[in-house]
Every structure is written in C-alpha cells, then in structure tokens.
Amino acid sequence: MARIGEVCQVLDELWPPSWAEEWDNIGLLVGDRQGTVHRCFCALDADGPVIAAAIAAGAELVISHHPLPFRPIRSVTEDSPTGAALLLAGREQVSLFACHTNLDVAPTGVSFHLAKALGVEPEPGRPTMLRVTGRDPLYKLIVFVPAGHEDSVLRAMADAGAGHVGNYSHCSFAAPGTGTFRPLAGAHPFIGQVGSLERQSELRLEVIVPAAARRKVVAALLAAHPYEEVAYDLIHLENDGEARGYGFVGTLPRSVRLSSFATRVARRLESPATRFVGDPERSIHRVAVVGGAGVDFVDDALARGADVLVTADVRYHEARGTEAKGLCLVDAGHQATEAVVIPAMAAELREALHRAQLEVEVLVADPRADVWHVPRLREP
C-alpha cells in the first residue's frame, strides 16, 4: 500500500513532467494525492471501458499514455463520454495519471519499444534518436568521505541515479587527502572530541548526477554518510546530459523487400489494417519509427538516410508527398504503434516502486481490439 502522491513521485522521476510538450496535459489529472493505492492499472487510453476494467480489477490508479481529460472542458456531466468517464472515476475513487509526450521522448519510450518489436537494431556509433528535443542538465557532486566508508557512500549515490555514463554505472573518481574540523559545543562527532582540532584521512569522491535525480542522490548521500555534518559540493556542468526526443532510427539485421517488411510490421504489431507507400520491391535496410502520429518526421527520417518510416495517422496528401520525396512509409495504426510501450512502462514502474520500497501491484490492461476493423473483400 502507498499514497497516490508517493506513486506520482516515482512516476515523475521515471518520466519527468518537464519533458512533456507545453500543450500536453500530464501528471495526476483526477484524484487525491493523500488517497491510498494497492494496485495500478496501466493502459494506452483512459476512457469509460478502461476505467471500468480498472475498477473490476480492484485498481485505485489508472496510468495511461493518452490523457483524460486532454483538452480543456467546460463541464463534467453524463452528457459526454469524457464527462461520464470522469464522473465514473470520481464516484469509484479511481485516480487518473497520464504519461504522454514525456513518455514519447524518454530514451526508452514509445518509439524505442516500437523499434524493438520490429527488430530494428541500433547502429554502432550512430545516435538512435530521430529528433532530439532536449538534454537533461548534468551536475557534479563532490563529497568528502572518511577512508573506509567510500564504498557504501558510492553505492548509495549510484543506486539513487548518480554515476551513470553511457552504458556504465557506478562511475566515480576518488582522491585521498586530509580533512580538518573542530567539533563545537552541541556537536556529536562520528570521529574526534568536542573542542579539539581533528585531522582525518578522507577521500574526495566525485560523481556525475543528472538534474532529475539530484535531490534523491543528495538525500541518499546524507543517509549513507557517517558524519553529522556532510561536506559536499553540487556543481552545475556545461556538459550535455542524456538526449531525449522523438523517434528511433536503426537498421534491420538483413535487408528485406518493402512488401515483406510491411507484412512483418502487420504481423508483429497484430495490425491487419497496416498500409504502405513505396515500390513493394524496394530494398529496406535503415528504418525510422515514430509511434503514433509521426508524419511530421519525414524530413528527419530522410536526413538520417532511412529507407522507410513506420508511423501512423498518415493522410492521403501526406502519403503522396512522402512518396515524391523518395521515402517509403508504413502506416500501422495509432493504437498498434503505441500499445507496445504499455507492458514496458508497467515493468519500469514495477521496478521503480520496488526500489522505493512501495508495495503496489502494477497491472497491465488487456490489449483491446483495434478501434479500426478491416472488412473482408469476399464474404465466406
């Protein structure tokens, strides 16, 4: 059991609200942070049927990719599907939380999982993000630790998110030196006596800390450090932090014809309404993907040398324009290109709740049939 507010804090640390677009509506949209939660329910949409399924599953918090409400509303009544869904959530005390564009741009967000589902692999030495929208500022944390305590302090800081460089964790630098201090009246020194000047062998321990994790890291440092008063410096750096942004670009292990690739997309995403634009015989090697409506990324995909862009919600003239530019398109539907992230989001949340020692079960909504049906051309 946890407070809704505690789970919101874990969610905000995984997918910081500052990553979301200005026009977006994310975070806790319905509910009481003081309320209790035993079970979360992760889903692509938050609408009446999903909220009803969450209630049936005994969940008190729905975490969705598409926000409810999304656009500003003037009234909350049973007269509209949005109003009815919000009233249902309120009546049954189900809170609603949305991770939308802040999940889209996450390094392991929607497009990352879409690419993984399609077997698109990163290219060594080339960035995978199709359009970078920002980078998290970095900080350097320097702390002075008495010799013998450096490992426990480093582990606590690293577990809280410090010392990550690319594919390496627990990165630090330690240099020996001497610290001095004189405990004054009222002090309870870990080492030394009140009133006498102490000289102590210490290590200067340095780690990198991403901005989003800095409060948590400092709290972990203070909890793990043996001294009553901890000397540390937190310094803002000019170095670029980890990139976040839209899309994923990579390659297939083996080139395939466009028509076979489109069939693979349809099969892996279980999206029979998948359509494609381009010469069916064209060889496909480099693939760009953008989950959801991503036709605005055609030029980014071309600039990165992609043969095809896998996305959704492409309109006729956009398809014609993309064909004229020489880029193939696979439109696999909005739902199918985004639903892949929901089980992954649930898994990340489960791990983070466990790290935060919050006992909350995380359920994943049953995959819904696509809102689009495909007619049979020949009746049986």
Strands 308-312 and 328-331: parallel
Q: Is 294 in the site for Zn ion (CB under 5 A)?
A: no
- Give 99 or 306: the residue with its C-beta nearer to Zn ion: 99
For the chain, list the strands marked E by DSSP.
2-3, 27-30, 36-37, 39-43, 61-64, 95-98, 131-135, 138-146, 173-181, 198-210, 232-236, 243-246, 248-257, 275-277, 283-293, 308-312, 328-331, 361-364
Output the smallest distance, CB 376 to Zn ion, in A: 28
Question: How many C-beta atoms surround the C-beta of residue 16 within 10 A?
Answer: 17
Number of residues interacting with Zn ion: please give it, by CB under 5 A: 2
Specify the stretch interacting with Zn ion by CB under 5 A; choose among 13-21, 234-242, 331-339, 372-380: 331-339
Specify the stretch interacting with Zn ion by CB under 5 A; choose among 132-140, 335-343, 358-366, 368-376: 335-343
Output the smallest distance, CB 99 to Zn ion, in A: 12
Question: How many C-beta atoms surround the C-beta of residue 6 within 10 A?
Answer: 18
Specify the stretch interacting with Zn ion by CB under 5 A; choose among 87-95, 167-175, 298-306, 338-346: 338-346
Specify the stretch interacting with Zn ion by CB under 5 A; choose among 80-88, 238-246, 286-294, 319-327: 286-294
Specify the stretch interacting with Zn ion by CB under 5 A; choose among 31-39, 125-133, 317-325, 336-344: 336-344
- Give 210 or 292: the residue with its C-beta nearer to Zn ion: 292
AA letter at 159: D
Q: Is 247 in the site for Zn ion (CB under 5 A)?
A: no
Output the smallest distance, CB 311 to Zn ion, in A: 11
User: Which of helix, strand or coil describes residue 29?
Assistant: strand
Structure tokens given for 151: 């490992």
Output the smallest distance, CB 274 to Zn ion, in A: 17
Q: Is 109 in the site for Zn ion (CB under 5 A)?
A: no
Q: Is 278 in the site for Zn ion (CB under 5 A)?
A: no
Output the smallest distance, CB 110 to Zn ion, in A: 8
Q: Is 292 in the site for Zn ion (CB under 5 A)?
A: yes
Q: 337, 269 in Cβ contact below 8 A?
A: yes
Length of the chain: 380
Terminal Cα-to-Cα distance of the chain (whole angstroms): 53
Residue 54 C-beta-side C-alpha neighbours within 13 Å: 33
Output the smallest distance, CB 17 to Zn ion, in A: 18
Which residues in this chain contact Zn ion in the complex, by CB under 5 A?
Answer: 292, 338
